[in-house]
Amino acid sequence: DVVMTQSPLSLPVTLGQAASISCRSSQSLVYSDGNTYLNWFQQRPGQSPRRLIYKVSNRDSGVPDRFSGSGSGTDFTLKISRVEAEDVGVYYCMQGTHWPRTFGQGTRVEIK
Amino acid sequence: EVLLVESGGGLVHPGGSLRLSCATSGFSFSNYGINWVRQAPGKGLEWVSSISSNSRSVFYADSVKGRFIISRDNAKNSLYLQMNSLRDEDTATYYCARWPQEEGGAWGQGTLVTVSS
């Protein structure tokens, strides 16, 4: 199975400052069609998860542009350019290239 | 608006069975693969199972293989998860979710399954 490793697991951030979460996979996530199926999900406290980013760097509809995804191969990053109070929650990466699908452990973002 | 609404959760004894449903609306259900994901209390997300749009391909996590069966009814825009031989460690909130290869990810609100004697 592909292991997804996130860091840090806890991220205290000052409002208005930038935040960055790393996600590394144990195998390349490049699929045979040339695409890389790496997703990012946000789970606010008490809510269901929602997808923020698909195929490494594409934002889902309604996702603020302060969220951006980057990376390739086995190394990926989610960045929040200016953290707002509503960004508090747990962030998960998930690979959609290999079976079984696997999630990272989650990174808890909190306000300092 | 894309909606996914799970139902069927509850309290069940170890070894028992439960059938979860996910009713969908707001999109062409028959065109999308769809997934079940679970989250044990206070824990992270765990992929459980996926089914292709035409039901020809199904996939399971090793932890549920041989005990859970995923299915869908495209005429009813609904997804199902038959859960048999339930164990304590299956206790979790179960979500149905779609994460297409293009815009339009969506999750339901979840249904809680508690396995306990």
| Predicted confidence (pLDDT) per residue in A78-100, tens digit | 999 999 999 999 999 999 999 99
**Residues of B near A (CB-CB distance < 8 A)?**
35, 37, 44-47, 50, 59-62, 95, 97, 99-110
Question: Which among B61, B105, B110 has CB closest to A50?
Answer: B105
User: How many of the other CB atoms lie within 10 Å of CB of B45?
Assistant: 25
CA–CA min distance B17, chain A (Å)? 24
> What is the pLDDT, as a whole number, of residue B104?
86
Amino acid at A35: N
> What is the pLDDT, as a whole number, of residue A60?
95
Judge: A54–B95 Cβ closer than 8 Å, yes or no: no
Contact call for residues A90 and A109 (beta carbons, < 8 A): yes
